[in-house]
Structure 1
Amino acid sequence: MSTPLSIPGITDLPPSAPGMRIGLFGGSFNPPHAGHELVSRESLKRLRLDAVWWLVTPGNPLKDHGALAPLAERVTAARRLADHPRMRVTGFEAAHGFAYTYQTLSHLRRTLADRKFVWIMGADSLAGFHRWERWEEIFTLLPIAVYIRPGSTRRATFSKAATRFADYRLDETDAALLPDMPAPAWVFLHGLMSSLSSTDLRAGDRANP
């Protein structure tokens, strides 16, 4: 756990209601870009979600924080980009001092047990998912949707995590069933792709001050 940081209007949890199908899309969003919006829009449609929440992390433990913009700045930028009535952006993890995805998902499942949450991540994240804290337990907490990323399909589908949970993979044609399924359950979504990445955008900013 890190030191909790509560910022009114930034770390508040989005409103929801029992029975809602909510996609959880976590990341540093440093900076947010059109690729994030694309994944969210496609997930809303393909999984038949009521909402997608962008969970802006205080800081990924697996990444260098040297170039990490302040939380409020990243949340504000993400809200400008997520211009959709069913996309919400929050930095609520900071208010609880959560450093790991497992902590976040455990909390939401416990405190909002009557919502139908789905964890959404890119295929590049699945490729290295076995390095995440308590990664196997994350698979047993919530259903997971993995969205294709350029150049990551083979690495993701043959990754340690994909192999470990191969028996629980849904056919893509059944993706809309995912929010109603008990974990572990996951699906790999193909579709429109964006080559944008936050890392490349930061590098471009440094090269063109």
Structure 2
Amino acid sequence: MSRPLAIFGGTFDPIHLGHLSVAWEASELLDAEVRLMPASVPPHRSSPLANAQQRVAMLKAALQKQSRLTLDTRELERSGPSYTIDTLTELRKEQGDRPLVLLLGVDAFAGLPSWHRWRQLFDVTHIGVLSRPGVQVTLPDTLLAEIATRRTDDPSTLHATPAGKVTELSVTPLEISATRIRELLAEGRDPRYLLPCGLFDDPSILAPYRNR
């Protein structure tokens, strides 16, 4: 099997160091390429403040000068809600038998049974659960039953099959809030060490949050 392709989705409104830190660590733990995939119309939350083009500009600025993390804009190019199963099914057709890994925070993973066609995800992808030290989340019984035979403690085993496994990835949490960053920018303040430095190179990149 080839090197896995991991998908890390979100609104990235804006992209901040907390996002980049966990994506980077997951890439190292899995020995995987990680694609950051901004959502167009997230089904489980309100629409982003910045539009698609503005968020892509932020992501491109944040991801420059490295090659471990890349950008995939396919969900922004589709109309309607960004359902993860549709994205992963499309990627599976493109990637053949290459292992795919959907990266989810532990809270999002606990809510998986509320997702559109959630059980079908295991047919097309592995799931890497980004855990935080000292944080315990109760998983619903329906999810526990589904993953009972899928769990593995060794992320390297995900290289051997295209999909179907669940592994926990212990990452270093950076408790950074996108909501707080938007508030600081709206107040005219400078969240210099919460955002990647590339976002400060062009004053127009953060304009969606300053001009409110």
User: TM tier, shorter chain?
Assistant: 0.7 to 0.9
Q: Give me the whole-angstrom Cα distance separating, in 2, the residues matched to 1:111 and 1:96.
A: 17
Pairs within 5 Å for 1:4-19: 19=2
Match of 1:57 among 25, 31, 39: 39
Contact residue 129 and residue 161 of structure 1 kept, 8 A: no
The answer for the alignment partner of 1:189 in structure 2 is: 169
Offset, 1:166: 2.7
| Residue deviations 1:108-128 (CA, integer Å, cap 9, x gap) | 101221432211121121122
| Residue deviations 1:2-23 (CA, integer Å, cap 9, x gap) | xxxxxxxxxxxxxxxx934211
Contact residue 150 and residue 195 of structure 1 kept, 8 A: no
The answer for the alignment partner of 2:136 in structure 1 is: 154
Offset, 1:160: 4.7
Contact residue 129 and residue 168 of structure 2 kept, 8 A: yes
The answer for the alignment partner of 1:77 in structure 2 is: 58
1:125–1:74: structure 2 CA closer, same or farther, 3 Å change rule? same
Q: Give me the whole-angstrom Cα distance separating, in 2, the residues matched to 1:137 and 1:78.
A: 29
1:203–1:124: structure 2 CA closer, same or farther, 3 Å change rule? farther
Gap regions ≥5 residues in structure 2: 189-209
Offset, 1:167: 2.4
1:206–1:148: structure 2 CA closer, same or farther, 3 Å change rule? farther
State TM-score, norm by structure 1.
Answer: 0.78
Runs of 4+ in 1 over 6 A off after TM superposition: none
What is the one-letter code of the residue matched to 2:61?
A: R
State TM-score, norm by structure 2.
Answer: 0.77
Contact residue 102 and residue 133 of structure 1 kept, 8 A: yes
1:123 aligns with 2:103: no
1:46 aligns with 2:46: no
The answer for the alignment partner of 1:142 in structure 2 is: 125
Q: Give me the whole-angstrom Cα distance separating, in 1, the residues matched to 2:108 and 2:2.
A: 28
Total equivalences in the alignment: 186
Gap regions ≥5 residues in structure 1: 1-17
The answer for the alignment partner of 1:3 in structure 2 is: none
Q: Percent identity over the alignment?
A: 28
Q: Give me the whole-angstrom Cα distance separating, in 2, the residues matched to 1:134 and 1:199.
A: 29
Contact residue 148 and residue 189 of structure 1 kept, 8 A: yes
RMSD after superposition: 2.3
Q: Give me the whole-angstrom Cα distance separating, in 2, the residues matched to 1:42 and 1:100.
A: 25
1:150–1:105: structure 2 CA closer, same or farther, 3 Å change rule? same
Contact residue 168 and residue 186 of structure 1 kept, 8 A: yes
Offset, 1:161: 6.0
